[in-house]
Each structure stands twice: as structure tokens, then as C-alpha cells.
Structure 1
Amino acid sequence: MIGLLLTGHDQFAGGLLSAINMVAGSQPRIKALSFEDHRAATYPAKLHAAIGSLRAESNGVIVLTDFMGGTPWNQAMIAAQDYSDVAVIAGANVPMLLDTLDYLESDYTLDDMVEELIAAGKDGVKYRHLPRLRAVEYEDPSEKGEGI
């Protein structure tokens, strides 16, 4: 069983977890930790504590961040160096989480889960184009001298 820690700037992690819980029900193996500028000094300790909590109840932890290079990702990479069973992935999105929820309770290894999450995240990015309808101009009957 793998635990997931969502983190990112401001309300990203909490919003992502809220969306997942709304669609799929409560997810006890997924935790959220927000990074806020005014609390930057305490963020590394909170990150380590969250990772430690998830590690105590799982066979590894994957930290999912909003994007590579930001403080949440940088701090997660630093924290992951202290553990052999923690991985960090940037670019978290709803499809990656929804498509892999069933695997959280499986016997997937950390590496297997990382591969599944990345594949689902990439596959979840889609583009569809609907043909545009031609504009129809409104004709006011009163302008034609017709009317009631």
C-alpha cells in the first residue's frame, strides 16, 4: 500500500484532494499539505511530519507537487533524500489520481505506482475541438415594417 502526499502553492493541494474526495469518496491514503509564503519557515518540518505519518501506515510515499522547480517540489526533493521509500512527482492532476486510486491498496511497489501515476497524468491531458456554429444574425421584425 502506497500513501500519497499532495502539496503545492496556496490551496492547490487541498483543492485537489477536495475534488478527489467529491468524485471518489474519502481517501485516507491521500493527505494534503499547502505551502503558503507567510508560513515558509515551518513548511519543511510539516513536510517531514506528513511524510513520516504516511510512511508509518504504508509501504512507501509518493509526494505529488503542483510543478517542478517551486518551493513545494524543491523541499519535497530535499525531504525525499532522507528516505529510501519516498518518491516525488511534479505536475499532479485530477485524472492521475482518479485513474490510480485502486492501486493505492494493491501490492504495487513504489516504482510501479510512480509509473502508473505518470502514465495516468499524461493520458488525462486531452484536447477536443467542437466545430463552431456559424453566427446567425437576429432579424428584428419591427425594422422591416412588419409587426403587430
Structure 2
Amino acid sequence: MIGIVVSGHINFATGVESAVKAIAGEQEQMEFVDFVESMSTDELEQALRAAAKRVDSGEGVLFLTDIPGGSPANRALTILMDTENVELIGGANLPMVANAAFERDDTTVKELVTTLLEIGSSCMQDMRLQLELFMEPEPECEDGL
């Protein structure tokens, strides 16, 4: 099973953790690391490395972070650069993290990245547009049928 480490600013990770538990139940090999105000970026990297070691069963580790280019993503990128079979998605959302719990068996880390990127982007919708499409009247048939 692919290990998952979720990280983000302040309580992003633990907030997502509570939602994932409600959606998918308690997860093995999935850890959540908050980057809180009292932490240095070196401490964050140490926490991410430790979490990655705990969740890695040899099938790889996927980091899911909140903001591409933010400290959690940057420190996970440092780990990606010196550790084999590690991938990173910056800008992860709840549908991606929840689906990671369901999609991480019988796949590779790179395939999981592709799947989660598709899920994440397909879940973002303009809800006003969706409502307007739903509310559009059915077109009338010209032949009266």
C-alpha cells in the first residue's frame, strides 16, 4: 500500500484528517503533519521525513500539500529530491486526499498522482453555472412530440 503524508499550514492537515476519517474511516499508512506557527521549516522537514518513514512499506510515499510553493510543499520537494519512490502534489484538496485512501492499493505512486490530479480538477466546479444548467427548461420539440 502506498503511504500518504498530508501537510499544510496551521491546521490544514489535521482538519483534512478529521474529514477523511468521517468519509473513509481510520487509515493505515496515512499521516497528517501541520506546519504550525511555532515550527521552523527545518522542524517541519524533520516531521515530514519521520512521517514518510512511518508510512512507507516499500511501495512508495505520496505527499499531498496545501499550497504549491509553500513551506510544506517545498520541504516535501526536498525529500522527493533525495528519496526514491516519493511523489508530491501541491494544491491538494479534500476529494484528492479522501480518494487517495481508496485508490492507493494495486497501483504505483506515479499512477496514483495521475488519478488524484484528475479527481481534484474534476471536483472543482462553478456551482452557479451548474445550477443554471440544471434550471434550464427542456427544449421543445419542433414537431410537437
Fold shared per TM-score above 0.5: yes
- In the other structure, the counterpart of 1:17 is 17
Gap change, CA 1:20 and 1:36, over 3 Å in 2: same
Q: Sequence identity of aligned pairs in percent?
A: 32
Structure 2: how far apart are the matches of 1:97 and 1:45? 22
Tell me the CA shift for residue 101 of structure 1. 2.7
Deviations 1:24-69 (A, max 9, x none): 21112321001113111421111111111112x2400000000111
* Contact residue 17 and residue 30 of structure 1 kept, 8 A: no
For structure 1, the 5+ residue unaligned runs are 132-148
1:128 maps to: 127
Taking the aligned partners of 1:81 and 1:99, their CA distance within structure 2 comes to: 25
Over alpha carbons, which structure has the higher Rg? 1
Moved more, 43-52 or 60-69: 43-52
Corresponding position of 2:38: 38
Partner of 2:26: 26
Q: Report the TM-score when normalising by structure 1.
A: 0.81
Match of 2:141 in 1: none
In the alignment, the residues of structure 2 paired with residue 37 and residue 95 of structure 1 have an alpha-carbon distance, to the nearest angstrom, of 26
Instruction: Report the aligned-residue RMSD.
Output: 1.5
**Structure-1 residue corresponding to 2:108:** 109
In 2: Cα distance, 1:107 partner to 1:72 partner: 27
Following superposition, the deviation at residue 11 of structure 1 comes to 0.1
Distance 1:128 1:29 in 2: 34
- Rounded to whole Å, the distance in 2 between the matches of 1:73 and 1:6 is 10
Q: How many residues align?
A: 129
Runs ≥4 residues deviating over 6 A: none
**CA distance in 1 between partners of 2:112 and 2:54 (Å):** 19
